[in-house]
Amino acid sequence: MEFSTQTTASLHQIKTAALAVGVFADGELSAAADIIDRAAGGALRAVLKTEFKAKPDTHLVLRNLEGVMAVRVILIGLGKKNAYKPAAHVNAEFAFARYCADASLAEGVTTLASIECPGSSLHERARAAASAALSAVYRYTETFGKPQDPAPKLKKIALAVARADAAEAQKGLREGRAIGNGMSLTRLLGDLPPNVCTPTYLGNTAKKLAREFKTLKAEVLDQKRIEALKMGSFLSVARGSYEPPAFIVLTHTPAGMTAAQRKDKAPIVLVGKGITFDAGGISIKPAAAMDEMKYDMCGAASVLGTMRAIAELELGREVIGLIAACENLPSGRANKPGDIVTSMSGQTIEILNTDAEGRLVLCDALTYAERFKPAAVIDMATLTGACVIALGHVNTGLFSTDDALAQSLLQAGRETNDPAWRMPLEDAYQKQLQSNFADIANIGGRDAGAVTAACFLSRFTQNYAWAHLDIAGTAWNSGKQKGATGRPVPLLVNYLIAQA
């Protein structure tokens, strides 16, 4: 999709299929809406008095207003002005773009980013407008036998801003476009069925990205090479499936970066859980909603989406993406409760529950990350149902042993409407992971399940700054709205931009 700025002050003279203006529930018009209202002889205020309450997530279409060149003026409800926050702006931009897509329009102009919003800059609002527009036009079509609804025709969105603000808005649009494209890739990988999106498919996706972007280099390690690394914990999960595992290394190196520069500034490493289907293994899950376990690779999908975004932005910082990908299925070769495996770090693990497999693949990936002497390592995983119980579907669970890293990630989430909430990680929780037969047990009981899962991972991250994002409640939607969300790509990309 193409994004641009529209700097004319004469909004009523803009020729477009759809012009979005914001109105507040208390009857106050935004500055842009006021201009259109005056040009149209008070048509907007008349509608506000009679039929449009301007509540959040609502819109009204006015066609062929006298004195206005736009074919349609879309009134976007913003809710009460004193409650207008960045999240409301994101929803408003999404509503406009979704209308344009549903109405089969090819282009539109939005004035919404020009509305002052406490806690956000124009740069951030422009970024949100672009990513929201790309989210609005996302459609899953890959596995339908018959054509569904026609694909959205929306190809161009322009932001109406003051001429002096154009450069700031364009910077935000560029970032938002990259984030939106990264989210779309993440969503597509999550939504694909597990018989298509296998570990091999994820590896091929990484290779495809490396062909598309010159700053990316992909390497996919097969089972023999994984065995040579002595990743016994990861491989124990893969044993139960006939699908071969894959360990993916995707590196973004800025163009022109010298070996000396690489040595001077340590890379940031992203680690993703890539369980392309999780039946729970021998500790098998209930049948209800098991189909949603195709989303257990959303951590891996988020790594790939984030790497795509930073490659598009030509980010000036080395970033390495690591993905441990396999299936977790029950079979005669699968892990059994009571088995003891040896991780790449040399620590032994007693497997008390084979459905706590995410930490078993991540721990070896986190050990592998040490070789890069990273500035920071961030892993993301649909790790625990306990995190969903604790935080629901609003906040991603954030665990970290480094306060500065945690604060940077929290800030990045706030700025992109992709929020996280920091959870405890005290040493006192570690005792729940004690085992009579190994260095560590893979579960710590029902109490504080998300915390003890993070505590498990922390034992493999002693040599670098580390954060863990539990995205079990935020990576996808369930039920009738089933589908991947693309989170936490916005948070990660914004964090990486700040580090560059």
Q: What is the pLDDT of residue 146?
A: 86
Residues of the chain with pLDDT under 50: none
| Residue 112, helix vs strand vs coil | helix
Domains of the chain listed by start with CATH number: 2-160 (3.40.220.10), 179-499 (3.40.630.10)
Calpha distance 294→278 (Å, rounded)? 7
pTM of the model: 0.96
| Torsion sign, CA atoms 359, 362, 363, 364 | positive
Give 212-261 pLDDT, tens digit per residue.
Answer: 999 999 999 999 999 999 999 999 999 999 999 999 999 999 998 877 77
Residues annotated as catalytic (active site), given as ranges: 285, 359
Q: What is the pLDDT of residue 292?
A: 97
Let me know: does 277 contact 357? Beta carbons within 8 Å: no
* Amino acid at residue number 418: D
Burial of 47 (0-12, 13-18, 19+ CB in 10 A): middle
Q: What is the pLDDT of residue 229?
A: 98
| Residue 406, helix vs strand vs coil | helix
Calpha distance 414→401 (Å, rounded)? 20
Write the CA distances from 320 to 53, 206, 496, integer angstroms: 49, 12, 12
| Torsion sign, CA atoms 173, 175, 179, 182 | positive
Calpha distance 62→43 (Å, rounded)? 9
Estimate the share of the chain in helix, then strand, then coil, as percent rounded to the nearest 5: 40, 20, 40
Calpha distance 119→124 (Å, rounded)? 10
Nearest to 469 by CA among 489, 485, 484: 489
Burial of 140 (0-12, 13-18, 19+ CB in 10 A): middle
Burial 359-368 (b: 16+ CB within 10 A, else e): bbbbbbbbbb
